[in-house]
Structure 1
């Protein structure tokens, strides 16, 4: 039986509209294709399942301070990593680390 290992990711952002534009381009490319956002919450679900699905959410907190939190998404191939990295850069990401192989985690990571 396959079980879910994650229910949701819930972030705070300082600028909701800016985050909405960025994640609106990035998250569908990562499989979060069902946009259920409203004026207070950006919410993207992984669609196509017969039960509640994982979701990625964010809301504004103008006092939020950026930190070193890291969220890593799975990719099947190096080409997929490069494709997602390009989408992230085009959406305005500040790519500080890669994409790159991180052998410190595991071989081929």
Structure 2
């Protein structure tokens, strides 16, 4: 039961909030900076990596519970692996702004 609740809850946060903020970032940052997105390919990889990894990160909220050890381990590993697409999106946003920081006011 808890696993299903966190699977839903984590996806609700990940897809409603995170995807919304990413959409705003990929729209408003290039528009304000008057520059194209630094790497379109990185944005596609970033998005699909978040979608595919976020699904499996829910069990990290359920350590030391009755959940099977393998599920807790999968949740922990996927949470750590989520750093890669998160940093990929941050790097893409920063590189889009490189040389145009003054236009953000």
So what's the TM-score if we normalise by structure 1?
0.32
Bigger-Rg structure (1/2) = 2
Between Structure 1 and Structure 2, the one with more strand by share is 1
Question: Which protein, 1 or 2, shows the higher relative CO under an 8 Å CA cutoff with sep ≥ 6?
Answer: 2
Scaled by the length of structure 2, the TM-score of the pair is 0.33
